[in-house]
Structures are given as C-alpha cells and as structure tokens.
Chain A
Amino acid sequence: MVRNSVHATRRRILATGAAVSAAAFAGCIGGNGEEQEATGDILDPEEYDYDREEPDDEDAARESTLVYTQELERDEDFDTVVSNDAYSVQVANLVFDSLYEFDYEYELQPKVAVDFPEVERDDTRYLYEIHEGIEFHNGDELTASDVAHSFTAPVEEETPNISTYDMIEEVEVIDDYQLQVDLEHPYGPWEMFNQGVSIVPEDVRTDDPEAFNEDPVGSGPFEFTDFEYGEYVELERFDDYWDEPQPYVQHIRFEDNVDDASRVSEILAGDTDAIGDVPNDDWETLEDEEDIRVHVAESPSVAYIYFNCNEGAGTADPNVRRGIAHAFSATDYVETYLNNAAMPLVTPTSRITNELWDFPLEEWEELYPDYDPDLAEELLDEHAPDDWNPTFLAPDDERATLAERVATRLDEIGYDMQVQTMDFGAMLDQTIYSDGDPDDYEAYIVGWTGGPDPDQYLYPNFHESQESVNQGHFYEGSDDFHDNIVAARESADHDEREALYTDVIEEILEELPALPVFTEHNSMATGEHIKDVHVHPQMQYNPNLVHDGANVWVDDE
C-alpha cells in the first residue's frame, strides 16, 4: 500500500533545491521546437525481464494491497461485451476469466477451456470443452451457455466489438460444458486472437445490462467491490477462485492520472504504488530512484507514416514515397525522442507479431529504406512534381516531432514540406475520414495496435474496404494485393496465410503506401516494495497481478 512520509531530511531538502533548479531550467529552455540531437541508446525491453520473485512469508504476502494509477481515464465500461476502452478492460480482465488467455509470449493458452478446440468442417467449426465447477462471484456455475452468450452478444447487440465476432454463423450449446462455434467461413485470426473471449454470466448480464456494466460479476481472480464513477475502482481477491495460482494481492485500487508529470510525481511522492506508462523523458529519473523499479515489455503497436496515393499527390509515385523514406532516419528519431519508450520498426507488423510467424525478416530489413539523403535527393529530383510542396499532418503530440524531423531533413535536400499539427480528431477527419484530397495532405502519421495475427494490422490498415474507415492512403495495389489480404483472412491454413502475408508485406515495403517507423512499449513504474511485476505485451492485461508467469505481492517489511 502507498506509504506517506512527512520526514524532511537534509538530503531531501538539498535534493529539493536541485530538483527545482533543474525543473526551472528545463522550463526555460524546453519546448523551443528546435531540432534535438540524439541523446541516448535505445532501450532493450529484454534487459528489464526480471526474474520471478517469491515471498518468504506467503501469509503476509496474501495481505497485499496496492494502488495502481492508470495513464488514461477509464470510460467506466466494465462489461467486456460492450467495452472498447482498454483502461476499463484492464480492470475487467481481473474480474473475468477468458476462454483462452495470452501468455507472455503473446500466444493464447487454454484458461476456461480445457484444451485447444477440435476443428472440423474445413476449419469453420470449433468444438470447445470447458472446465467443470467454475463459479462466478455470485456462486452461479459458469456453463457453456455463458460462453456462447459471450461470443454472440456483441453481434446481437451491435456493440463496438461486433467486428470481433461477426464472422460467427451459429453457436450451439451441446451441454453444460461443451459448445460448438460455426463460422461463416474460415477465419485466420480466430485461433490466435478471437477465441480468447472474456466470459460473462448470461443471466446476470441480460437481467440488467446497464447495472452489469458498472457492477460486473465474473469468474476471475478478483471481485468488483467498490466503484466511484470517474474516481476509482476497487477489487478484492476472490477467495474461492477456481484456478492456480491463487493471487497474493488481497485488494487493488485503480485510479487514473492523465498528466505525465503529475503521474510521475505521484509515484515519486509515494502517493501510489504503481503507475502505467512511464514517459520517455522521465525514465532515467525513475530508474535512478532507489525505491522505484521500472518495467517494460514490447507491445503489438506500430506507428506508420501513411502516404496519400491518390492521383494528383506527389506521393502517388512510389519513388517519391521512397525518396521521403530515405530522407530521414527512423533510428535517429527514436534515439532522440523515444529511446526509452519505443524501438525502430522495419515491418508493417509489430516485432512481437513477427516472432510468432516465420517471416523472412532479414530480407525485409534489406527492403526497408535506410537513411540515405543522397538517394532521397536523387529520387525526389527525378520523380517529385515541379514546385512540390506537400503537407504532412500529425496529431499535436510527440508524433508531431517525427513530422517535423521529416520536414527538416527534406528541407536539407531542398524540398519544402509543410507540417500541420492538429487535434487528433480533426486530423482523423482530414485524413482517414476524407476522400484523400492531395491539397489537404500527402502524408500523415497514426499509430495502430494490432495483435498476434498479421491480419490485425494488414486488413484494417491496407485493405481497400477500409479506405475512409481506417486508412487514408488510398493505395490501389497490385492485382492480387487486396485479394491476398482477404484470402489470408479467410484461411485457417497457417502456411498458406504466411505465404500470402509475405507477399503482401513485401509489396508494402516496396511500394510504401505506409512506412512503419517505430513500435512503442508497454511500461510501468512500481515501488520497490511491489514484487514479481512483469509487464504483459497485451496492454489490457496490465497490471498482470496473477498469471502463470507472475503473482504480484507487496513486501511491507
């Protein structure tokens, strides 16, 4: 639990002066918009893969209570059928069990399901068997009809999660512990992602869906005990939890603090036990604190620069896109601005996704346009339109610095790129949700969080059906580019899918409708007294209090 200290030691007071001076100085010189030089090595998340920790006194560990401060405000939608808010789902994931859950390698493992499903009917029929005797927090038994309801409710109720399950044709409950899910067609990501559904109790939920959303009942390791809208959520350990390991943490309180400086101050002051998302520039400060530990794990996120491929745009020519890509160094950008929070990326799928597939990564690294200003100049001189004056749109956050970096590098080789930063919503309206007028933009930057399956990146970001819905590059592609994306989505043959995705990704890297630039990490800072913390790649799983690979406890000694 958080510790409140009111002792003013000489060291503290001296440190106060130093901290204020440093902050005041930073306040005077920061934010002038000038180019910064690369300052640090790029952090390797594997170096923060801490060993497991076990308590000496298990009884004491089982008294653990902690406060976790999330980095964004929750929408307070805890019903996983409805919720599309990652921060509410962070809470919900402790309350609900899922049919399958991700391990730290980002692969689904059976949880409520006894084993992996039997697959029939040309990869369109999945037969699931679930454990007997699992109880929800209200004492009702979890049965196959609850699992069936969890699959079908998003579609029947047209919730924002409809697209995750709208390929389901029918769900048949065979008996209390078996069910059969029929898909309309083979669906590639099903086994790697979609079958990891959180299981809600059908009776309680359908009785009063609104009440359920704010007072959910699950079968997970923690019970929902207290909730003040917009303020906090409190969970208690469910002592009759059916699975091993049993959690050590007895009580957890979720709060939020959206302001980076304030959130960091909160943990420095000991007003919280753990914070989500360590800001890049505060990493070293927190790491240098004796009583704080920083944690990080790679995530399935990708930040892309999308190029407008519509007729009339200079970037409609792939040589111009390649010229822009050669003009700046993504590595140098990450070193300068995000060395603790991100890594450069050379593929349109995240590194963590690539590791799950047997992709020819070395070949793709060769395809990725390296920093080569001479080649950039040559390509642009030859292919850019006369008086080319492109616009690069970026949201008014750290991504704007990337746009500025690209514009600066282009300026160095004689090309004038305008950078417009704007509110995220306005930017989406002018890019993705537009017709792609080249006068409005020729490039924009947006991040995307996918999953273990390449489809989770490639379909929404590159398929033509997603124009003006999820992407605004309007890339036409080769004859079979879009067909391959759909064919891979509608196949359950892993090898076939891998081959199709290899073609698609190679075309993306050759033609560059979008340039992958970096992947951002999931990070966390905890008090030194919080033990056995391991950040999960799926950010909705954090804080991962209890899992095969972690069981958090508080060392109050």
Chain B
Amino acid sequence: MGLLRYTVYRFLQAIPVLIGITIITFLLANLAPGDPVRLMLAGQEVDEELIETIEQRYGLDRPLYERYVTYMAGLIQGDFGHSIHRNRPVTDLMLNRVGPTLLLVLSAYAFALVTAIPLGILAATRRNEPTDHVSRIVALIGVSTPSFWIGIMLILVFAVQLGWLPSTGLVYPWRGPDGYDWIETWPELIYQTIRHLLLPMVALGTLQMATLMRVERTQMIESLQGEYVKLARAYGVPERTILRKHAFQVAQLPIITIVGLNLSTALGGAVLIETVFNINGMGRLFIEAIQQLDYQLIMGITIVIATMFVIGVIITDIAYAYVDPRVTYGEGE
C-alpha cells in the first residue's frame, strides 16, 4: 500500500470515529443539566413566554433527534451552526480563536522538543553523573507541577517583579504591523510576538519537555546499550558519530508517538494557560461554551479538536516510516 492510499485509508477510518464523537458530544451537551436560554437570561426578570420565544428561535423546542439530524445536515455542508449565547456563526467564532491556540501549542511543542531532546541525550550520555541527576530532578518537577501554577510563577517573576515580559495577551504575527497601532515594522512585530509568547510557551511546554526528556533519556540509554552500538564502538567509530547516526535515530520512535498522542494533553493544558495569560484561544472559548451550555459551540469546538487529534495521530503514523525504514504501510498483508 502506498503512502497516498494509506493516508486516504486512515482518513476514511477517521470518519466513523468523528461521527461517533458528534453523537456522544451532542447527547452529553444536550442532556447535561441546565438550559442555555434560562442561563443566558439568569439574573433578570423574565417570563416563560420570552424563554419559549428564544428557544423557538434556536430550534431548542424540537425533539433531540431532529436537532441532531438538522445539525449534521448543516455540518456536511460546512455549517457548524449558530452560537446561542453569542448570536454568531460558530465557524466565525472558531476561526477567530484557532490561530492563538495553534500558535501557543505549536510554540510550546517547539520549546519542548528543542530543550528536551538535547537534555535527554546529555542525561543519557552522562548517566548517574550530576548532569543526569539535575536533569532528572528538573524533569520530575516539570511532570509534577501544574502548568497553570508554573504560569502564575512566571508572571510573578518576569512580569510583575522584574517587568521584563508582558503578563498577559499575545501579539499575532498574521495581523501584520498594521493590525497594531503601537507596532510599526515587521521586525518589531516579530519581537513583540516572541516577547508575549515566551511565558505562556514555557508554561505550557514544560510538561511536554519533562515528559519527552524522560523518554529521550531512557531510549538513548537503551540505544547506547544496543548490540549495534557495541559493534560500532568495537570498530572504533567515534562516539559522536555513534550518538548521531546509530543511537539517536532509533531512540526517536517513542518520541514521535508521545508527540502525537500528547496533542490532546497540550490542547487541554492550553485551556488553563489561555486563562492564566488571558489569551483569546479555543480553550477559553470551549470553557465559556460549556459554562453557557452553548450547544452548537460545544459541538463545533469538540469536532475541530477531535479532527486535529485524529490528524495528529495519522501524521504520527506516517512519520514512523520516515524515521524507521522497517515500518511499512501494510505491503504484503
């Protein structure tokens, strides 16, 4: 099976998964206690007539199955519906918020990979030395400390006390300098983007970094004890070449798996980090949608996140073959 066929096959496999997710989410959201219209009007004098009028406006007076069928009919045509609480198309709301979340999650991943892999290798090559002990302690702290707490500490130190970095918000590079009346040039925009991104990126990426570093260290230790490494050493291959050519590549397979599967963890962490750093991303939107019982918005965001996760897993599977030639796309089955 070729790469293209395999990819198409995997995407086709994902369709029933996504349909299943829509059914479960639809039922969970709609059967959860609470009424979005009453919640929207809570705290003011209302009567039943007004509630019924608004429910009719959003089709909430119709049977559950009918609402699901209507929703799916729209979804097939790319219509994610209309937010009850915000009175706006769900697609617009999500498009508005997906950029900041992707920027945050991808930069956190980049931070995690760039720091975890060298540190993991360093710890493995200097096993049981002080460097290894320090890196293991760092990893342990990183794994066991909640990301929101790290975020608050970073804000306290670098924004409140030292005043080096902004405490909240992001600057979006896709808006260009014209999108900000206080930024004039592209280099300044990039500088401000990085300045604003640093703290949330570290806060969100620390957990990933710690996880990856522990796995990298373990895998590298295992690789360095492999027969092929011993053979290379016997042949007098320089240690640096052994590390780079023989041990490193093999050790990366579990890293790819973790990167793919941890996408959901990162998106979950983004919810907290977006709140702590006041970033208007999908995570915050999702929390608000749940609090407001905004059914259509809950559905839309769940479907988008599920799709992102499924795509992440498929890309992970495909990436295996690039790293490990032994992995095939099912030839000879």
Contact = CB atoms under 8 A, between A and B. Distances in A.
25 contacts: A5-B163, A6-B163, A7-B163, A19-B161, A20-B153, A20-B156, A23-B152, A77-B87, A158-B53, A160-B44, A163-B45, A229-B96, A255-B169, A257-B278, A262-B152, A262-B277, A263-B278, A265-B156, A265-B167, A269-B167, A271-B166, A423-B33, A425-B35, A448-B43, A459-B45
A470 B38 CA distance: 9
A270 to B, nearest CB: 7
B46 A24 contact: no
Given A19-B161, A77-B87, A271-B168, A258 B275 contact: yes
B288 interface: yes
A363 B277 CA distance: 50
Interface in A381-440: 422-426, 428-430, 432-433
Interface of B: 32-36, 38-48, 50-51, 53-54, 85-88, 92-93, 96-97, 149, 152-153, 155-157, 159-164, 166-169, 275-278, 280, 284-285, 288, 291-293
Contacts of A265: 152, 155-156, 159-160, 167-168
A268 interface: yes
A165 to B, nearest CB: 12
Given A75-B86, A160-B41, A469 B46 contact: yes
A84 interface: yes
A509 B211 CA distance: 59
Contacts of A262: 152, 155, 167-168, 275-278
A460 B152 CA distance: 41
Contact of B50 (A12, A162, A255): A162
* For the complex of A and B, 4 pairs with smallest distance between CB atoms: A425-B34, A16-B161, A426-B33, A269-B167
A261 B156 CA distance: 10
A469 B159 contact: no
A239 interface: no
A12 B161 contact: yes
Nearest to A430: B33
Interface residues of A, number: 59
Contacts of B275: 258-259, 262
A13 interface: yes
A271 B41 contact: no
B169 to A, nearest CB: 8
A73 B162 contact: no
Contacts of B41: 84, 160
Interface in A112-130: none
Contacts of A158: 50, 53
Contacts of B152: 23, 261-262, 265
Contacts of A4: 163, 166
Interface string A46-75: 000000000000000000000000000101
Contact of B34 (A229, A268, A423): A423
Interface in A12-57: 12-13, 15-16, 19-20, 23-24, 27
Given A231-B280, A448-B43, A269 B155 contact: yes
Contact of A269 (B34, B39, B88, B163): B163
Contact of A271 (B54, B153, B159): B159
A426 B45 CA distance: 19
B241 to A, nearest CB: 44
Nearest to A213: B87
Interface in A66-113: 73, 75-77, 84
B291 A23 contact: no
B237 to A, nearest CB: 47
Contacts of A162: 50
A245 interface: no
A268 B163 CA distance: 10
B34 A426 contact: yes
Interface string A257-289: 111011101101111000000000000000000
A426 B38 CA distance: 11
B45 A12 contact: no
A292 B275 CA distance: 24
A443 B100 CA distance: 43
A26 to B, nearest CB: 10
